[in-house]
Amino acid sequence: MELMILCAGLGEKDWHGAPADCPLRSKGKRQVQKIGAYLGERRLRPDRVLASPATRARISAEKALKAAGWTTRGLKPSAALASGGLPELAGCRRPLLVALPEEVKRLLRGLGLEMETGPGVLFRLDATPDPADLIALVAAGDLPDLFPYPAPDGPERRPRPAYYYRQSAVIPFRRTSQGTEVLIVGSSSGRHWTMPKGIVEPGLSPAASARIEAREEAGVEGTVGHVPLGSFSYEKWGATCEVTVYPMEVRKVLDGADWEENHRTRKWVSASATAGLLKQPAFGLLAARIQA
């Protein structure tokens, strides 16, 4: 069995809450994303992924998996990792364990290895012998700063993991006696109007990912059309993002705590007025197709 053990990335500086709740900071996210790209490029896909219950370990696991181009749906918490113990791995050929560096150090000691650990370090072990043999030690700092595109083994290099550049959005609408109305939402900064849009999560279809964005950003649920209204591209993160846009007929409007990003504003407007209000004109042009 090849056992892969990843040390969680760096946590936020000056964190005053419970240690287990400390989030990743930007550099920490970058560390584990680079490890994920390493795994994806070499097709080292784990058949089981377990993470320590600590927030930083869980998020590190998610970031690494997505940077590799893999879904996070199989990720499970493991209480054993929190105490530095080896979880049950019967039947696994290549598991990935993600824990805090101090937890990893105890885990390695239990496998007969005395090694220094640090944020964003991956240990690849042959766990069959006792003590285990080290196959490779991979530190995020030794990996390329750019990520392969359009796939984990793609020829191009970009500043962010490949999946960042594949996005989807919905245009939420409703039919009224006055005609079709479109729901526009304020940007996270509150400086302009936009539509619910986000990165397509690995393992999800563009339509399914857009449905999630609609609930989180606009606080609405409804029926997403199977056929997209169209697509457009824009520049971000040093390259071109491709956005597929779907119609969504709103069935339910959420309020209060049910709307995750309720700091945003939202407003119903006529479909014909949409283009003049949105920062990205492409949304307005696609909204006109709903009215038609």
Residue 107 shares a structural domain with residue 178: no
> How many domains is the chain partitioned into structurally?
2
Whether a cis peptide bond, with omega within 30° of 0, leads into 119 is no
| Cβ contact 173:223 at 8 Å | no
Residue 113 shares a structural domain with residue 74: yes
Domain final residue, candidates 158, 193, 228: 158
Residue 69 shares a structural domain with residue 100: yes
Query: pLDDT tens, 89-109?
Result: 989 999 999 999 999 999 999
Residue 152 shares a structural domain with residue 220: no
Domain final residue, candidates 128, 158, 188: 158
Residue 149 shares a structural domain with residue 240: no
Domain final residue, candidates 141, 158, 175: 158
Question: With the CA atoms of 98, 104, 109 and 113 taken in that order, what torsion angle do they form, in degrees rounded to the nearest 10?
Answer: 80
- CA 202, CA 210: separation in Å to the nearest integer? 13
Residue 223 shares a structural domain with residue 131: no
Average pLDDT over residues 199-204: 93
What are 168's strand-pairing partners? 198, 244
Residue 178 shares a structural domain with residue 268: yes
- Domain around 195: 165-291
Residue 142 shares a structural domain with residue 219: no
Residue 139 shares a structural domain with residue 177: no
Residue 151 shares a structural domain with residue 45: yes
Query: pLDDT tens, 144-163?
Result: 999 999 988 889 999 999 99
Query: pLDDT tens, 163-196?
Result: 999 999 999 999 988 888 999 999 888 788 999 9
pTM for this entry: 0.88
Residue 229 shares a structural domain with residue 264: yes
Give the per-residue pLDDT at 168: 97
